[in-house]
Structure formats: structure tokens, C-alpha cells
């Protein structure tokens, strides 16, 4: 990003957040899930829908629901009826990106109070949600080869392991940590006490990816309420400010990229750090929710975000630095590996977790250090987009 | 904290406790291949892998595109790249596209083709490779060559190449 | 003060019933090169962000934003998709610049409708699967319902509606990017095949392929580039209900509300007086009159009089769709709003600041929940 043309006029605060349970299959429809989360967030902020000026929706591929223009299907349920309402979409990066879009609705000065809702219902599609991902690939180069989503992540993981000589044992530690952290999360779907051996002995899907390296498929929804400075101070004594946002989309041609390092996230992070005035992320970020649909991605993303040097994230993990009581707690919520992965909702759950951590409202999940600055991040598309939000109290 | 939501199990669905409506999307498309990919597919029938070169920055793109991803100039010069290359990364798949188990594991890889710009790889299958050599990392950086379908069976598809296999003496 | 926002460049392909010779990427690339050239920018150096409009089922590729960066000059830049018409993309670009963190933002939208084998089967998937899909298999059914009650409640003649088709198809003859320019007699419209009574074949805009890119910039950037460009004076967008049983078919409130939002930003009290030309929804012929009414642009005229008195013809008091609208350019799915914006820019540039003060651009999304976006441009 080039130079900024003015100083920010409108500071944006998060003043409320809400979640539904994350589960493999939910009785509620997409609309019902979105409404539940929106209601929770509004209650948490002490607002009603009448107080909301505009609504942003995040939901990942329409194919999960089999509904064309899914965003439009959700209008009333997300609170967008007769309001300025929009859906933004960047694949798996959508959850955090919806918060970014909410930020610019307020930061632009157009709106005072904005509701951001993210939902995903993956259980609708039969026989398995994986099948939907077949249709994300290039119909000429990749699809005829029978490509599976896990292939491409495995190819990235394998390259990362090869380049930095990383052992599967070290990567498995992420899964162990996150599933354990999730034991304290009220929405958690797959919280568990497991060992590195459990991960290494789980079903091999696409080597090096095994079943316990991966987050589950889930149904769920999340929501947050954003306001400008004036309203934030009126509604709460503890607003959490969004001080930086960043995102970056890499080339479509994923086989032309350096898969060992997430360059898209390096750029997204750089943009957000610049906005938030952060020079040394490793020192200045107190707690981070990085996107962890696979265990290796937590490590990969820490390096892309400059929270670790290249190849260093597994070492920090082994040394306990990323535990809740460590120097740089990563995914204290339990992440996607522990709480679950209703795609867009999982991303926004991460923003909600940073909101609670910075307000010291995370209960048993509260990190040991006194956090002032936190970061939430998501990732998606063909291993291609990074979305980053930096928050402060 | 009690969160909203009502989970159910697959068995509840199978035993009729969860009301639902069923529908099957009827979504069909014919994707126009366009200038770059039409020629690419046509030349596969001839056993040739074609790239497009950006005359501004010199990058040779495979798969070809009419625009340069990095300097945004039109690419205009067709270049035949070799059907040999090196393995950038490889994995062993035990599952098919629909998540079902495969009968026999399949090795897939990103292969950087000789003659394309460094790092310009394509996705393809590897044949005659022991899955163990993927797991112990031996296959990384190895030279491989395309094994083509017999000419009369080619249809102008990426599957005109059956797979890549390690080159002898390498 | 937040920066004013300008449209510093536009580019469009020719619109066409089908484009088998080009991939969607190649179509997008052509529009992007034209727009960046028009704005005098180097995409790789100057663009701070790119917004692209897409919906997965229109593209036939899930998570379509994967396939947009390279051909727009957006690799490793802040690029994203808005699920909706390109005019919503313009609004997002406008907001991004207003935050102060972005200077130059491009917006892209395209249609490859001809790549879809059976387009009604895709429309059908936009409907509620529980109670609507079992009943309705194409969108024209709803348009027929809408047209009927609109004509009834607002006392609109069949002849007036047929004249909209004649006017727009004739207007398209002067538009080099429009494929459906023609001399269509109003009787041909009212005697064409009934699709969903009272909606007839010629009341419906045919689909078209094409791509449009617009480049927006803040004050500083526009000044640095030395461009005297039209300004975005106001934006508005509002959604209706996704329960089609609850629509007000005759007079869409969401259009009215979107317009009020844009008017208030632009400081417009009397729209008919302030707006000199309008580029508005005519996906179906009657929609042009319905939109004029909802936008408050009919002044003292009845909707019939707008046609019979020539008010909205190119040489009338308020030209509407003077370059042919969707009826003349084709309905390019999500590229519709940007196509209208492109036509508005052509009009503003040729007329100049002395003749035209403000132009109104409006687009609608159709189903499941209808919604409207309004952008007011001017000098
Ligand atoms: Zn180049």
C-alpha cells in the first residue's frame, strides 16, 4: 500500500461479540444460526437492531448451502432488511475480512454503528463438504487430475517441512495445544486432551496430512458490533479499538508460488502493522489468533506475520512460547483445530476471542500476560489470501 | 456460558428425526478456454508444453496467460518448454476427490518445468515412485519427465500427460 | 475532512451476446488495461486496492476471488470480491478512499453469461429451497407478478412500457459497445410472445457478456495525476426482504431508501431538478418507469406522460438510459451497474460540466432479496 492520504478521522471500536455453538451438524438453518449470533452480539453490546446503521455479512462458498447468492438469502436473518447491507467474500479469509469491511463502513465516516455477521453451515451438502472444494479448482489445469483440497495443503506442508527441515512431531504439537486450549471454550466442537502420538497415529489422508492435523467441518455463526469513537464511549467503558487492518491476495497460479513462505500474509501483516504503527511485531503483539485449519498453518502463518523467523515457529512452539502462559500466546481460544471450523464464522470467532482477551473477559482462556495489543488473522482461497486485524485496548 | 445452537448426529438424520428438503443443483458450464489456454491444450495433443513469455520482464509462464502477473504487460511470445523438470514438492494421497479412500495411494507433485521461469510449476501425478521416497524427502529436487498418452488417444487435456516419472540415472 | 472521491478512469469491452473466443480472464484484462490507461496509472505501482464483483454460481467456480488478481494487476495487493453487482463495488471503493488509508482503488465486474449452459437453472438456485423452488423455476414469473401489480397500482399503460423498449433499443444505436441497438416498433413489443403475463419476450433484456473496470481516487491522487474527473457526490444502498412473499411489488421501498441516502449525501432536495440524466435499472422494460418513480424522478408527470411527452428521451428534460440501458446493451449480470456507470461517464465527459451537473446511476440486485444501489456523479 502506498502512502496514506489523511490521518484517520474515525477510530473504530468493537463493543460486543457473540457466538453460537460450533458443531458438525446443527438443527438450525443458516438464517437461524446467523440470527442467533447477531442477537448475542447485540445483547452483549447492549444494542438492538434498531440502533444499527448498516450490516456486513461474511459467508464462504454458496455451494455449501446450495443457494445461489447466499448473501441475499441471509438479508433478514443477519439484520440487513431495509438497511445498507453487503456481503464480502474472500474464501476462508472471509471471517476476518468481514470485520475489516465493517471497519471501513465506520472509518469512512458513513456509518456510526455496524453489525458484522459471519455464518457457515457446511452440513447441508451431501455426501461430504469436501466435495464442494472440487469446484474451486482450475477447470483446465487441476480439475481433470481429480484434485482434492487436501492435496494442495499437503503439497504446501510438505514443501514447508522440506525447506526448513521440520519434523511432523513438532507440527503435531500445535494440534495438541489447540485442542487442549479449546477445552475451556464454550463453543468448542473438538476440544480434547490428545498427545503427539495420537496425531501421528491418526488416519493418513494425504501424507503428510493426517486426520488430527486438520480442523473439522462445522456449522456455526459469529457476530460483532462496531461503532465509532463517540458511540463506543457512550456504550462501554472498555471498547477495543481496531488499529490496523490488512489483506493481500497472491497470484491465482498457486503452482507458480514459493509454497514454503506465505508471502500474501507477509504483505497483509505489513499493511496492518504500518497502520497500527507497529515496528516489531514479535515484541509488540501480546496475543494472536492465527488461522489454523491445519496445524502446520499456525506455524506458517506465525512466520508470515513476522511473529517468528522463517522456520522458527516450530521451535517457539516446542519451547512453550505459544502456550497461554507463554511469552507469545497463539490461539488461546483453541483455534479452528479445537473450537471448530465453520469457515467464515471461525474467522470472526478469532476476532471475538481477541476482543475478549483484551477486555480480560476470556475466563479460563485468559492469557497469563497482560495483553494490550492483539491480532486476528484468517486465510483462504488457493492458499492465497491473508486477512489481518490488529486490536488494542 | 451457554451458547445457542442445537446439535444433532448423522444417525438422527438417517432415522428421520431431522426434517429436510432435498435438492440437486443443476449447474452446468462450458468455460471458454480463451486465447492462451486454447493453444496450450491444442499443443498438448502434439506432445508439446507451451508457455507465454512477457517481453517486458522476461518471465516465461506455464500455464500460459495473455497478461503478465507481475508487470501487467501483455505476454506475446509463445515458447515451447521441456516436458522434463524437477519436483518442487510431493505428497501421497490416500483419498479421492469426494473424500473416499483410494484403493492404491497416489503420488502427486508440483513440477517446475525446464525452460519455464524458475518456480513456474504445474500440478501433476508422479508414476513409478515409491511413496516412502516422498515421506523421507528423497523425491524433492529429483528430475522427472512426462509420460505421454499415445498420440491417437490425446484429447487436448492436461491428462494427455499420464504422469511424470523419475529420469533414469538420477 | 475526508477526501472527496473521483472517478478518474473507466474501461469497457464491447458487450456481446457471447464471447467464445476469450476466457473470462482475458475479458477482464481488456477492460482493466483500458481503464488504467484511461486513468493514466500504472496498476502495479499505483493501485492501493481492487474490488471485484462476483457470485460463484454465475462463474461456475466456487470461491471465485481466487481467479481475479493476475488479470487485474492485483497480485499481492489488497484485492477482494463483493458478492453482488459492481455498483456495490464502487461504493466499497468509495468508502475505502474515505477512510484515508487508500488513494486509488479499482473496481471490476464482468459477465460470462454465455458460459452458462442453462441460466434459468442457476436462477432457480437463488430461490428459497423450502417453499419457493418447488413452485418457481425461473425469475420471469416473479417479474410478471411485479409488472402486473405495478401497472395496476400506478395506472401505467402497456403502450408506455412498450415505448421504453423502443426508446432504449434505439438509444443503443449510438452506443459503440451495445449489441442490441435496433429499431423496434412499440407494437412489436406488445405483440411479442407472452412469457409471464403481462411480461412479454421483448420486455426482457437479453443477456450479454462483457467486462468493465472503473478507477476511483481521492483528492490528492486525482490532483497528482492532473485529471479533471467527475466526483462521486453521494452513494446509497439498501436491501429488501429475502422472503419474496413480503415484497412490495409495485413500489420498491429499498430503491426509495437507497436514493434518499445518496440524495442526502449529495445535498439534493429536489431530485428532478438536480439530476440531469439517469442510468437506471431496465432489466425488464417496466422497471425503468418503476425505478424513476421510486427514485422520485418523475416530478409532476405521471409515468405515462414521461413517455408520451418525451421527458425521458435523449432530447427530453431528463434523459434516461440514453445509451440504451440493459435493453440495448444486454443484461450483463453483475456487470450491469458498472456498465451503467461507464455509460454515465461517457455522457458526462461528452456533455461537459457546463451542461450536466449531476448524473444518477442505479443498479438492482434481483433475487433472493432485491436491493438497490445509487451513485450520484457530477462535477
Ligand atoms: Zn512481465
Our count of domains for chain B comes to 1
pLDDT on residue C166: 98
Distance in angstroms (rounded) separating the CA atoms of residues A152 and A255? 9
The runs of H, that is alpha helices, within chain B are 10-14, 34-45, 131-135
pLDDT of the residue at C1 = 53
The reply to whether A348 falls in a domain is yes
pLDDT digits (tens, 9 = 90+) for A85-132: 999 999 999 999 999 999 999 999 999 999 999 999 999 988 777 777
Domain span at B79: 34-166
Neighbours of ion ligand 1 (CB under 5 A): B 54, 56-57, 68, 71
Residue of chain A whose Cα is closest to the Cα of B132: A207
How many angstroms separate the CA atoms of A199 and A177, rounded?
Answer: 12
Q: Under DSSP, is residue C333 helix (H, G, I), strand (E, B) or coil? A: helix
Q: Does residue A5 lie within any of the structural domains?
A: no
Indicate the average pLDDT of chain B. 94
Give the pLDDT confidence of C86-126 residue by residue, as tens digits: 999 999 999 999 999 999 999 999 999 999 999 999 999 99
Determine what percent of chain B is predicted with pLDDT higher than 70. Answer: 99
Q: Which residues of B touch C114 (CB under 8 A)?
A: 32
Residues in C 112-131 with any Cβ partner in B closer than 8 A: 112, 114-118, 121-122, 124-125, 129-130
Instruction: Please state whether the peptide bond connecting residue A76 to the residue before it is cis, i.e. omega within 30 degrees of 0.
Output: no
For residue C156, name the pLDDT band (cuts at 50, 70, 90). Answer: very high
Return the C-alpha torsion angle C12, C14, C19, C21, nearest 10.
-90
As a whole number, the mean pLDDT across chain C is 95
Choose the CATH number for C119-207+234-378 among 3.60.10.10, 3.40.50.150, 3.40.47.10, 3.20.20.80: 3.40.47.10
Question: CA of C281 to nearest chain A CA: how many angstroms apart?
Answer: 18
Asked if A305 and A388 touch (Cβ cutoff 8 Å), the reply is yes
User: How many CB atoms are located within 10 Å of the residue C20 CB?
Assistant: 13
Distance separating alpha carbons of residues C65 and A385, to the nearest angstrom:
10
Residue A2 has what pLDDT? 39
Q: Decide if A19 is inside a domain.
A: yes
Q: Residue A239: pLDDT above 60?
A: yes
Which tops the pLDDT comparison, B84 or C223?
B84
Residue C80 predicted with pLDDT over 90: yes
Residue A195, pLDDT > 70, answer yes
pLDDT tens-digit readout, C208-241: 999 999 999 999 999 888 888 999 999 999 999 9
Q: Distance between CA C200 and CA C188 in Å, rounded?
A: 10
The alpha carbon of residue A305 is apart from the nearest alpha carbon of chain B, in Å, by 23
Mean pLDDT of C47-64: 96
Facing residue for C126 by CB, picked from A69, A101, A250: A69
> Angle, to 10 degrees, between the axis of helix A168-181 and the axis of helix A295-304?
100
* Closest C-chain CA to B25: C125
- A8 CA from centroid of ligand 1 (Å): 36
Summarize pLDDT for C328-367 with one digit per residue, the tens.
Answer: 999 999 999 999 999 999 999 999 888 899 999 999 998 8
**In chain C, which among 69-88 make CB contacts under 8 A with chain A?**
69-70, 74-84, 88
**Contact at CB, C101 and A275, closer than 8 angstroms:** yes
Instruction: Please tell me the predicted confidence (pLDDT) of residue A129.
Output: 76
Phi, psi dihedrals of residue A167, rounded to the nearest 5°: -90, 150
| Sheet strands (E) in C175-331 | 194-196, 199-200, 210-218, 231-239, 277-279
* Out of A272-276, B22-26, B87-91, C23-27, least confident range: B22-26
Q: Report whether pLDDT(A77) > 60.
A: yes
- Stronger pLDDT, C368 or C301, i.e. the higher one: C301
CA separation (Å) from B73 to A157, A379, B55, C173? 33, 29, 8, 33
Chain-centroid distance of CA B90 in Å reads 12
Contacts of B63 in chain A (CB under 8 A): 138, 140-141, 253
C302 in contact with A, Cβ within 8 Å? no
Question: Is residue A20 in a domain?
Answer: yes
* Three cell numbers written together for C353: 460540466
Residues 209-268 of chain C whose Cβ lies under 8 A from any Cβ of chain A: 218-221, 235-243, 253-254, 257-258, 261
pLDDT tens across A148-192, in order?
Answer: 889 999 999 999 999 999 999 999 999 999 999 999 999 999 999
Full-prediction pTM beyond 0.80? Answer: yes
The domain in which residue A233 lies consists of 12-127+215-392
Percent of chain C exceeding pLDDT 90 equals: 90
Q: What percent of chain A has pLDDT over 90?
A: 90
Q: Considering the domain boundaries, does residue B159 fall inside one?
A: yes
Q: CB of A347 within 8 A of CB of A93? A: yes
Contacts of A101 in chain C (CB under 8 A): 92
Q: CA neighbours within 13 Å on the CB side: how many for C55? A: 32
pLDDT above 90 (res A20): yes
Q: Would you state the pLDDT for residue A9?
A: 67
Question: Any idea where the domains of chain C sit in the sequence?
Answer: 5-115+209-224, 119-207+234-378
Residue A52 and residue A102 in contact, taking contact as beta carbons nearer than 8 Å? no
- How many angstroms is it from C218 CA to the middle of ligand 1? 28
Which pLDDT score is estimated for A8?
A: 61
User: Facing residues of A380 across strands?
Assistant: A385
Neighbouring chains of B at 3+ CB pairs under 8 Å are A, C
- Is any Cβ of chain A less than 8 angstroms from the Cβ of C3? yes
State the pLDDT confidence band at B26, using cuts at 50, 70 and 90.
confident
CA A339 → CA A128, A178, A217, distances in Å? 20, 8, 11
The minimum CA-CA distance between A255 and chain B, rounded to whole Å, is: 5
Complex confidence, ipTM: 0.97
Structure confidence by residue, pLDDT tens digits, C239-293: 999 988 888 877 899 999 999 999 999 999 999 999 999 999 999 999 999 999 9
Distance of alpha carbon A174 from alpha carbon A316, whole angstroms: 11
State how many domains chain A has.
1
Q: How confident is the model at residue A388 (pLDDT cuts 50, 70, 90)?
A: very high
Interface contact A1-C94, CB threshold 8 A: no
Predicted confidence band of residue A3 (pLDDT cuts 50, 70, 90): very low
**Phi, psi of C354, deg, nearest 5:** -75, -30
> In whole angstroms, what is the distance from residue A72 CA to residue C126 CA?
9
The yes-or-no verdict on residue A5 having pLDDT over 80 is no
Strands B143-148 vs B121-126: parallel, antiparallel or unpaired: unpaired
Which of A130-144, B103-117, C327-341 has the least mean pLDDT? A130-144
Instruction: Kindly determine whether residue B134 and residue A158, on different chains, have CB atoms separated by under 8 Å.
Output: yes
Q: What is the CATH number of domain C5-115+209-224?
A: 3.40.47.10
Instruction: Say what the pLDDT of residue C74 is.
Output: 98
Query: Does A255 reach chain B within 8 Å, measured CB to CB?
Result: yes
Contact (CB, 8 A) for A289 and A347: no
pLDDT at B59 > cutoff 70: yes
What pLDDT does C369 receive? 86
- pLDDT band at A6; cut points 50, 70, 90: very low
Give the per-residue pLDDT at A125.
85
Mean pLDDT rounded to a whole number for chain A:
95
Q: Is residue A136 part of a domain?
A: no
Decide: C172 and C343 in contact? Cβ < 8 Å.
no
In this structure, are residues C127 and A62 in contact, taking their beta carbons and an 8 Å threshold?
no
More confident residue, A215 or C354: A215
Amino acid at each position: 500500500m502506498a502512502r496514506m492520504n489523511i490521518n484517520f478521522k474515525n477510530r473504530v471500536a468493537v463493543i460486543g461479540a457473540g457466538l453460537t455453538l460450533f458443531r458438525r451438524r446443527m438443527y438450525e438453518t443458516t438464517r437461524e444460526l446467523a440470527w442467533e449470533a447477531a442477537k448475542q452480539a447485540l445483547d452483549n453490546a447492549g444494542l438492538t437492531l434498531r440502533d444499527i446503521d448498516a450490516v456486513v455479512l461474511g459467508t464462504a462458498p454458496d455451494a455449501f448451502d446450495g443457494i445461489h447468492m447466499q448473501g441475499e438469502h441471509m438479508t433478514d436473518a443477519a439484520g440487513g432488511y431495509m438497511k445498507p447491507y453487503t456481503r464480502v467474500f474472500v474464501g476462508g479469509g472471509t471471517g476476518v475480512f468481514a470485520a475489516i469491511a465493517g471497519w471501513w463502513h465506520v472509518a469512512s465516516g458513513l456509518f456510526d454503528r455496524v453489525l458484522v455477521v459471519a455464518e457457515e453451515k457446511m452440513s447441508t451438502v451431501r455426501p461430504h463438504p469436501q466435495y464442494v472444494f472440487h469446484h474451486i479448482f482450475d477447470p483446465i489445469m487441476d480439475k481433470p487430475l481429480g484434485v482434492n483440497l487436501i492435496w494442495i495443503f499437503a503439497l504446501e506442508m510438505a514443501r514447508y517441512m522440506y525447506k526448513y527441515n521440520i519434523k511432523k512431531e513438532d507440527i503435531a504439537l500445535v494440534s495438541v495445544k489447540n485442542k487442549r486450549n479449546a477445552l475451556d471454550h464454550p463453543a468448542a466442537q473438538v476440544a480434547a486432551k490428545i498427545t503427539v502420538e495420537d496425531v501421528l497415529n491418526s488416519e493418513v489422508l494425504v501424507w503428510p496430512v493426517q486426520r488430527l492435523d486438520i480442523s473439522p467441518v462445522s456449522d456455526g455463526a459469529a457476530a460483532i458490533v462496531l461503532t465509532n469513537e463517540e458511540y463506543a464511549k457512550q456504550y462501554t467503558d472498555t471498547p477495543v479499538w481496531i488499529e490496523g487492518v490488512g489483506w493481500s491476495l497472491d497470484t491465482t497460479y498457486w503452482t507458480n508460488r514459493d509454497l514454503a513462505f506465505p508471502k500474501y500474509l507477509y504483505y497483509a501483516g505489513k499493511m496492518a502493522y504500518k497502520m497500527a504503527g507497529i515496528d516489531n511485531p514479535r515484541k509488540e503483539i501480546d496475543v494472536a489468533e492465527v488461522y489454523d485449519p491445519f496445524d502446520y498453518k499456525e506455524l506458517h502463518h506465525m512466520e508470515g506475520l513476522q511473529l517468528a523467523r522463517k522456520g522458527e515457529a516450530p521451535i517457539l512452539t516446542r519451547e512453550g512460547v505459544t502456550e497461554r502462559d507463554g511469552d507469545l500466546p497463539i490461539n488461546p481460544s483453541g483455534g479452528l483445530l479445537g473450537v471448530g471450523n465453520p469457515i467464515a464464522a471461525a474467522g470472526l470467532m478469532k476476532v471475538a476471542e481477541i476482543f475478549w482477551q483484551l477486555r480480560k473477559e476470556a475466563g479460563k482462556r485468559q492469557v497469563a500476560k497482560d495483553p494490550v495489543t492483539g491480532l486476528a488473522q484468517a486465510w483462504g482461497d488457493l492458499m492465497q489470501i491473508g486477512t489481518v486485524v490488529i486490536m488494542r485496548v | 456460558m451457554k451458547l445457542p445452537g442445537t446439535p444433532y448426529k448423522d444417525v438422527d438424520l438417517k432415522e428421520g428425526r431431522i426434517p429436510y428438503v432435498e435438492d440437486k443443483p443443476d449447474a452446468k458450464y462450458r468455460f471458454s478456454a480463451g486465447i492462451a489456454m486454447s493453444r496450450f491444450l491444442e499443443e498438448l495433443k502434439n506432445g508439446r508444453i507451451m508457455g507465454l513469455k512477457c517481453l517486458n520482464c522476461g518471465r516465461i509462464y506455464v500455464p500460459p496467460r495473455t497478461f503478465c502477473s507481475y508487470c501487467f504487460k501483455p505476454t506475446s511470445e509463445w515458447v515451447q518448454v521441456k516436458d522434463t523438470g524437477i519436483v518442487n514438492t510431493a505428497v501421497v494421497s490416500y483419498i479421492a476427490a469426494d473424500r473416499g479412500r483410494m484403493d492404491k495411494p497416489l503420488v502427486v507433485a508440483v513440477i517446475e518445468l525446464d525452460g519455464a521461469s524458475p518456480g513456474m510449476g504445474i500440478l501433476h501425478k508422479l508414476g513409478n515412485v515409491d511413496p516412502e521416497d516422498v515421506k523421507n524427502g528423497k523425491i524433492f529436487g529429483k528430475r522427472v519427465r512426462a509420460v505421454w498418452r499415445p498420440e491417437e488417444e490425446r484429447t487436448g487435456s492436461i491428462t494427455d500427460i499420464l504422469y511424470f516419472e523419475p529420469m533414469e540415472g538420477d | 475532512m475526508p477526501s472527496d472521491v473521483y472517478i478518474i478512469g473507466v474501461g469497457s469491452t464491447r458487450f456481446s451476446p457471447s464471447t467464445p473466443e476469450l476466457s473470462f480472464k482475458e475479458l477482464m484484462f481488456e477492460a482493466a488495461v483500458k481503464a488504467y490507461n484511461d486513468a493514466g496509472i500504472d496498476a502495479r505501482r499505483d493501485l492501493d486496492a481492487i474490488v471485484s464483483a462476483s457470485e460463484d454460481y454465475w462463474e461456475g467456480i466456487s470461491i471465485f476471488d481466487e481467479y481475479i488478481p493476475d488479470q487485474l494487476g492485483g497480485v499481492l495487493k489488497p484485492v477482494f470480491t463483493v458478492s453482488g453487482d459492481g455498483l456495490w463495488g464502487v461504493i466499497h471503493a468509495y468508502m475505502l478512499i474515505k477512510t484515508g488509508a487508500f488513494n486509488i482503488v479499482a473496481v471490476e465486474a464482468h459477465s460470462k453469461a454465455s458460459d452458462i449452459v442453462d441460466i434459468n437453472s442457476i436462477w432457480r438456485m437463488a430461490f428459497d429451497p423450502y417453499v419457493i423452488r418447488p413452485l418457481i423455476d425461473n425469475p420471469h414469473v416473479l417479474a410478471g407478478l411485479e409488472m402486473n401489480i405495478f401497472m395496476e397500482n400506478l395506472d401505467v399503460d402497456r403502450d408506455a412500457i412498450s415505448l421504453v423498449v423502443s426508446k432504449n433499443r434505439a438509444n443503443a444505436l449510438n452506443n459503440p459497445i451495445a449489441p442490441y441497438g435496433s429499431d423496434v416498433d412499440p407494437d412489436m413489443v406488445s405483440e411479442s410472445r407472452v412469457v409471464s403475463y403481462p411480461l412479454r419476450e421483448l420486455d426482457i433484456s437479453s443477456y450479454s457478456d462483457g467486462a468493465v473496470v472503473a478507477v476511483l481516487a481521492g483528492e490528492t491522487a486525482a490532483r497528482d495525476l492532473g485529471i479533471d474527473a467527475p466526483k462521486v457526490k453521494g452513494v446509497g444502498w439498501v436491501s429488501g426482504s429475502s422472503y419474496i412473499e413480503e415484497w412490495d411489488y409495485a413500489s420498491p421501498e429499498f430503491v426509495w431508501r437507497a436514493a434518499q441516502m445518496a440524495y442526502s449525501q449529495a445535498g439534493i432536495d429536489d431530485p428532478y431538478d438536480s439530476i440531469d440524466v439517469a442510468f437506471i435499472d431496465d432489466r425488464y422494460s417496466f422497471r425503468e418507469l418503476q425505478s424513476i418513480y421510486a427514485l422520485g424522478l418523475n416530478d409532476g408527470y405521471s409515468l405515462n406522460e414521461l413517455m408520451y411527452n418525451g421527458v425521458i428521451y435523449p432530447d427530453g428534460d431528463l434523459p434516461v438510459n440514453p445509451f440504451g440501458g440493459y435493453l440495448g446493451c444486454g443484461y450483463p449480470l453483475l456487470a450491469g451497474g458498472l456498465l451503467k456507470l461507464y455509460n454515465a461517464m461517457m455522457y458526462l465527459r461528452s456533455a461537459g460540466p457546463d451542461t450536466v451537473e449531476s448524473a444518477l446511476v442505479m443498479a438492482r440486485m434481483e433475487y433472493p432479496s432485491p436491493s438497490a444501489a445509487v451513485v450520484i456523479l457530477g462535477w
